[in-house]
Amino acid sequence: MNIVVCIKQVPETTQVQIDPKTNTLIREGVTSIINPFDMYAIEEGIRLKEKFGGKTTVITMGPPQADSALREAISLGCDEGILLSDRAFAGSDTLATSYTMAMAIRKIKEFDMIICGKQASDGDTAQVGPGISAHLDIPQITYVKKIEEIKDNQIVVERMTEEGFEIIKMPLPCLITVVKEINEPRLPSLKGMMRAKSAKINMWKAIDLEMEEDRIGLRGSPTQVIKIFTPQARPKGQIFDGSPEEAVEKLLDTLKDLTI
């Protein structure tokens, strides 16, 4: 089974900076980590490889420093890493990002499953995984909490919902996004860290992927940040003492003052 795990390197929450001209995150030179939800995707990809054989390829898009995220994934047990790095990718929104990732996966050609974390901590859109499946025209299941079975070229999973979970079956190849309930990520071994240090990371640019230029980067991003600001602090709440009737009377008086 050949598995592709899509990850993202995100800034540590205390290090977030915004480019005042483009209103996008400044990633160069910023201390970054693997998106926490993607750690569960990495772990699940490694577990599936250990159970069914094959290989696990980890892929990310970002500046050259994102190389460290791929090496960390390899230290955990992934077989190879691919870095999509090109100035042409800068400023990509979720549509442009998912298109770029999908074109890279299409270049890989042979895959049975794509695994993504449910969302990234810096954007929280949860759109890139589903976007990749749409560009590749393969089925998808989001918020997977457990893989029940993979058999006869089909997968059965538990999908988390607000009310509980759903049991869903779909054919391979497919894409799933996973939640933290699916597993417990492992720590890297000494052997894994040594292998990751010497591993060759493939770096692909836009020209390597035969992409349409108007579908990548800022040019290919229909959603753009127009303004960034810090929201005003909410005023403190009020507690109305007394009997229910007295509390209601005080509430009505307060609401009247607000409407004047």
DSSP state of 185: P
Domains of the chain, CATH where assigned: 2-220 (3.40.50.620)
Q: How confident is the model at residue 12 (pLDDT cuts 50, 70, 90)?
A: confident
- Note if the bond before 173 is cis, omega within 30 degrees: yes
Show Cβ contacts of residue 197 under 8 Å, excluding neighbours closer than 6 positions: 71
Beta bridge partners of 203: 83
DSSP 3-state percent helix, strand, coil across the chain (nearest 5): 40, 25, 35
Average confidence (pLDDT) over 129-148: 96
Band of the pLDDT at 91, cuts 50, 70, 90? confident
Q: Give Cα separations from 3 to 80, 84, 227 (angstroms).
A: 11, 18, 39
Beta-carbon contacts of residue 217 (< 8 Å; ≥ 6 apart): 88, 89, 90, 91, 92, 96
CB atoms within 10 A of CB 127: 18
Distance CA 173, CA 113 (A): 5
| Residue 82, beta-bridge partner list | 59, 202
What pLDDT band is residue 149 in, cutting at 50, 70 and 90?
A: very high
**Whole-structure pTM over 0.95, yes or no?**
no
Q: Which residue has the higher pLDDT, 15 or 122?
A: 122
Residue 151: the pLDDT is: 94
What's the confidence (pLDDT) of residue 114? 97
Structure tokens at 209: 């992927």
Give the pLDDT confidence score for residue 143 in this predicted structure.
96
> Mean pLDDT over residues 237-257, rounded?
87
